[in-house]
A and B are shown apart, each in its own frame.
Chain A
Amino acid sequence: MNLLAYALIVVVGVAAVGVGGYGLLGGVAALRLDWLVPLGGLDLVLDPLGGLFLALIGFTAVPVSVYAMGYHDGSERGRLAYVVFVVSMCLVPLAANTMTFLLAWELMSLASYFLVVHDRTSRESIQAGWIYAVMTHAGLACLLGGMLLLGAETGSLRFADWQAAAPALTATTRNTAFVLLALGFAGKAGVIPLHVWLPLAHPAAPSHVSALMSGVMIKLGVYGLLRVSFDWLGAGPTWWGATLLIAGAVSSVVGVLYALVEHDLKRLLAFHSIENIGIILLGIGSAAVYHVAGHDALAVLGLIAALYHTVNHAAFKALLFLGAGAVVHATGTRNMEAMGGLIKRMPWTAACFLIGSAAIAALPPLNGFVSEWLTFLALFQNTHLAAVGQHLIFTLGIASLALTGGLAMACFVKAFGITFLALPRSDAAGHAHEASWPMRVGMLGLAATCVALGLGPTLVVPALGPVAAAVLRTTPLASGAEGLTLRVAGDFASLSTAIIAIALALAILAPLVILRIAGASRRSRAYETWGCGRIVQTARMEYTATAFANPFKRVFDFFYRPTKRLDIEFHPESRFFVERIEYENPTRSIFEDWLYRPALHALQAGARAATTLQSGSTNLYLAYILAALLLMLVLA
């Protein structure tokens, strides 16, 4: 039964890749069943953008489901929710009218809610599920508002009719609809400051579900943002794109800063999802600004960067979550401080996690590097813009992307180093076991994808070009790929990851070959790590994640606002002998303190004020009804 459900999803995934690939290559298909759902019926249309996201969902779902076959965790309910989750996600990018879209969207949210609260005995996961439910439904309310507004103004609930009617709408309507829809989608994508649910919900779900939620589900928020910014409302004013760019810049830096001080492996990855959504938004925002300014070729470049990073993030983030799942499964903890030494016990998982870490840290020749490079190029082309304000915003984007890249690198040195290297920090880590074969196959598949996407940008970019052009309704660029080299923006820049890969391989092999030719002895001696001549070496002497993050905590003190608590218990005889020492240095969230808590307090105060209306007296209620009736009569 376990296998059957996941095998079904593998089949669904393969079908989604097929259909999505057909749409990606320009195929058009439509399905309409009027009787199935009210208000417009089930309406599915395949276009290049929808096809890309559908293929992405399928492509991620296949290795994740293979992995899930070996990850004995799901209950009957969990498997059903998993199937519903994947199928409803597949419907979202195909939906062509409001009703179909909202049904699929809500089904996806509910299914993922049930997966988040799969552990019904843990207080933490129930809390996470609650916050997730509130945030996702606040987002749904925004989407509903925006879509109904557009429906009322254009007189149709079909997305295609909105495109046609968009230029005739008033500026206020378009701006209101944009703000509402963008808020709804940004909440799902986890854009700062709507991200609060993400670091709670992703770790609470089983790891294969986290992989899909982080790899694919939040990408549907990106999909929605693309539709809103370019498709449904036509090209908007410049501030739409500028807002997206600033949101991207803030999300990328804030996401990675939170990840740096996080020692829960899965929460760390969840914060990196926020960061990567930020990087994607940088591409989308630049494309929107260029599009309005009339630089369609540059807009296509920005959009290609965003779409490429979307695909890449799905691959490496799913891989990292699967790796983290294997580690959590083996050690029984998510706390990195209790891991260590796993590279010897779980070599396959460690190798896959290392590839994922290098990819997300944007190291060449892996895929994260290519898409971040493209994003940089898209941002560097701001010299073509006229307004000074836009230059400043683009410069902000460039600076934040550079900072993000460096911090992400540091963060994954920490994540990989503390988790997999050195001596085990706990008994559980010392007795860890390698992941089962289906889990390894799933991870290896995704790792191979990361490498392929990194080495093959000359194939990927020309494939994404027509999608970006279709979204922007312009002609696709002349393909910038020659052999193994990718050319961008004319002769502005070129890149060949294949040559980088060959150079790196040569740099590693050449010394070995030279030594062999020079006749160096190949005798080697293995001995334990040098500890300054120390006799006893224990895991307590190792560098910890907290220590690694501490310099960053000090530099970004204004952001983390850490509180310190030092509790020392002295020996009763002398203060020079310490019996017990406890040190806590937690960070405080700006968004919780300054945004959510005041908002919640205001809501509670408002609710308390409103209770005076409800006195329990039937006479008073009758008076309300009478007053309402009179008001209606007067207004009518």
Chain B
Amino acid sequence: MAEALRRTWQATPDPKFVVAVGDCGRDGGLFCGSYAVVGGVGDVIPIDAVIPGCPPSPAALLTGLLEVIGRLSR
């Protein structure tokens, strides 16, 4: 999936935000350290925000997204 992710990121025109959602997106979550996992999304492409949780609670999702928008207005 790493290569597919990299290509998808490349194919998306700027401006763009990448948000890694969930523990799996953050660092591999339950499968962290497994030989089949490269790591989190952030290890493959640059990310703008991480929303932890398995699954992330609505409040966490909102916080994460607001964080991204906060960067936008900054």
Chain A residues in contact with chain B, CB under 8 A? 525, 527-531, 533-535
Contacts and interface: CB of A to CB of B under 8 A. Distances in A.
Interface of B: 1, 3-5, 7-8, 10-11, 13-14
B5 A527 contact: no
Contacts of B13: 525
A533 B10 contact: no
Contacts of B7: 527-528, 530-531, 533, 535
B8 A530 contact: yes
Nearest to B15: A521
A535 B3 contact: yes
Contacts of B8: 530, 533
A65 to B, nearest CB: 47
Contacts of A533: 1, 3-5, 7-8
B10 A527 contact: yes
A494 to B, nearest CB: 41
Nearest to B10: A527
Nearest to B6: A533
Majority secondary structure, B binding face: helix
B2 to A, nearest CB: 10
B4 A527 contact: no
A525 B13 CA distance: 8
A52 B51 CA distance: 75
Nearest to A523: B14
A527 B3 contact: no
B11 A535 contact: no
Q: Kindly name the residue among B1, B5, B10 whose own CB sees the greatest number of chain A CB atoms within 10 A.
A: B10
Nearest to A524: B13
13 contacts: A525-B10, A525-B13, A525-B14, A527-B7, A527-B10, A528-B11, A530-B7, A530-B8, A530-B11, A533-B1, A533-B8, A535-B4, A535-B7
Contacts of A534: 4
Given A530-B11, A533-B8, 7 more contacts: A525-B13, A527-B11, A530-B7, A533-B5, A533-B7, A534-B4, A535-B7
A529 B7 CA distance: 9
Contacts of A527: 7, 10-11
Q: Kindly name the residue among B1, B3, B10, B11 whose own CB sees the greatest number of chain A CB atoms within 10 A.
A: B11
Contacts of A528: 7, 11
Contacts of B11: 527-530
A535 B2 CA distance: 11
A527 B14 CA distance: 13
A184 to B, nearest CB: 59
A535 B5 CA distance: 11
Sort A-B residue pairs by CB-CB distance and give the 7 closest, nearest first.
A533-B4, A530-B11, A527-B10, A533-B8, A533-B7, A527-B11, A535-B3
A520 to B, nearest CB: 10
Contacts of B5: 533
Nearest to B8: A533
A328 B24 CA distance: 53
Contacts of A535: 3-4, 7
Q: Kindly name the residue among A528, A531, A533 whose own CB sees the greatest number of chain B CB atoms within 10 A.
A: A533
Contacts of A531: 7
Contacts of A530: 7-8, 11
A19 B11 CA distance: 59
A528 B10 CA distance: 9
B56 to A, nearest CB: 23
B27 to A, nearest CB: 21
